[in-house]
Amino acid sequence: MEKFIPIPSRPAPVVEVGLIGWMRKNLFSSIPNTLVTLFTVYMMWIVLVPFLNWAFISADWIGDSRQDCDSGGACWVFVTVRWNLFMYGFYPEDSYWRPNLAFILLLGILVWLSVPRLPFKKWVAIAALTVYPVAAYTLLYGGFGLDVIPTHRWGGLMLTLVLALIGIVVAIPIGILLALGRRSEMPVIRMVCVIFIEFWRGVPLITILFMASVMLPLFFAGGTDADKLMRALIGIVMFQSAYMAEVVRGGLQALSKGQFEGADALGLSYWQKMNLVVLPQALKIMIPGIVNTLISLFKDTSLIVIIGLLDVLGMVRQALADPAWLGYPAEGYLFAAFMFWIFCFSMSRYSIYLEDRLNTGHRK
């Protein structure tokens, strides 16, 4: 008897595998699906191609006056000639190293804290919260032998970063206290915290900034004219800490009741219970939420334009009003949008990464 040799299996039909198979499955699986694909491709063609052409291919990048923009595309010269203004505002040019140094230090700290393998995290974090603010303040504002640069000369991206960072760093401790107060068993403290949180969450940031700029001066004795930036910061911190409190509350509620009861049963005091048992677990759950509030704070800082401070958006708007450069609003706003987008998008990616990494079993 002849040995049975099966014929070799034939390859899968060419329309089922590879690029063609993938396209059949994902783009042309049914008639409506095909129509959607064709329509989308058509829309992309008529929108994206002219845009890319305008923004990149026929754009002008190099030059120092508007005469250099003659190719009919985007005039990025508008941005490049004002790059320093967009970054630092009216900060004196020979002192640019100061914000740069402060920013590099911050970047170093952040990288140190966010790369999981590096040691001494605790000490770096403590330094970041104690030594760094003093150092950064001295660098940016002056003192200890450095020239004082008043805050009305600050601006551009630098101001945006300063506002967002101070806002978040001050708002976290206040938010934690408010959230703990909201869960407190003392009715007066609970009421005060609830009213505080709900008030700031219920009104738009812009009214808070208006309040900070027109009402706050009346609150200080002798009608002191507190620094404009300072007043805006007070408003932003109030607003932000109320949102932060809700994030913290979410983290506290995610902990099982047994943790609180266990700590009580061990005889820990209230602050021992919070510092040793509850907050270390809750903070871990809260980190993505904190990053999300940081993102919205970062976007919200753009509102200070309305009360007359000049962040990136404010500097761009001022540049657009320059009679020598009229007519480039698209370039200006797209540049500002890109600046904000880069920061917010990378933070949101980082928050997703953290969520994955910290997902060690608290969430189902």
**DSSP code string of 124-176:** HHHHHHHHHHHHHHHHHH-BTTBPP--GGGB-HHHHHHHHHHHHHHHHHHHHH
Identify the residue among 63, 133, 217, 250 touching another protein (CB under 8 A). Answer: 217
Q: Are 168 and 299 in contact (CB under 8 A)?
A: no
Identify the residue among 214, 276, 326, 352 touching another protein (CB under 8 A). Answer: 214
Please say which residue, 89 or 132, places its beta carbon nearer to another protein: 89
User: Helix (H, G, I), strand (E, B), or coil: what is residue 75?
Assistant: strand
Q: Are 358 and 285 in contact (CB under 8 A)?
A: yes
Nearest to 339 by CA among 109, 204, 159, 171: 159
Residue 28 carries which DSSP code? S
What is the pattern of x (binds another protein, CB under 8 A) and - over residues 312-351?
Answer: -x---x--x--------xx--xx-xx--xx--xx--x---
215 binds another protein (CB under 8 A): yes
What would the 3-class secondary structure string for 336-348 be? HHHHHHHHHHHHH
Sign of the four-CA dihedral 84, 85, 88, 92:
positive
Residue corresponding to tokens 């009580």: 264
Please say which residue, 139 or 304, places its beta carbon nearer to another protein: 304
220 binds another protein (CB under 8 A): yes
Please say which residue, 206 or 354, places its beta carbon nearer to another protein: 206
Q: Which stretch binds another protein (CB under 8 A): 82-90, 123-131, 136-144, 179-187?
A: 179-187
The footprint of another protein on residues 33-92 (CB under 8 A) is 33, 36-37, 40-41, 44
What is the pattern of x (binds another protein, CB under 8 A) and - over residues 20-39?
Answer: ------xx-x---x--xx--
Identify the residue among 295, 309, 310, 315 touching another protein (CB under 8 A). Answer: 295
Please say which residue, 147 or 227, places its beta carbon nearer to another protein: 227
284 binds another protein (CB under 8 A): no
CA dist., res. 348 & res. 339, Å (int): 15
Q: Strands, E, within the chain: which ranges?
A: none
Q: Which residues bind another protein (CB under 8 A)?
A: 26-27, 29, 33, 36-37, 40-41, 44, 185-189, 192, 198-199, 201-207, 210-211, 214-215, 217-223, 295, 299-300, 302-303, 305-306, 313, 317, 320, 329-330, 333-334, 336-337, 340-341, 344-345, 348
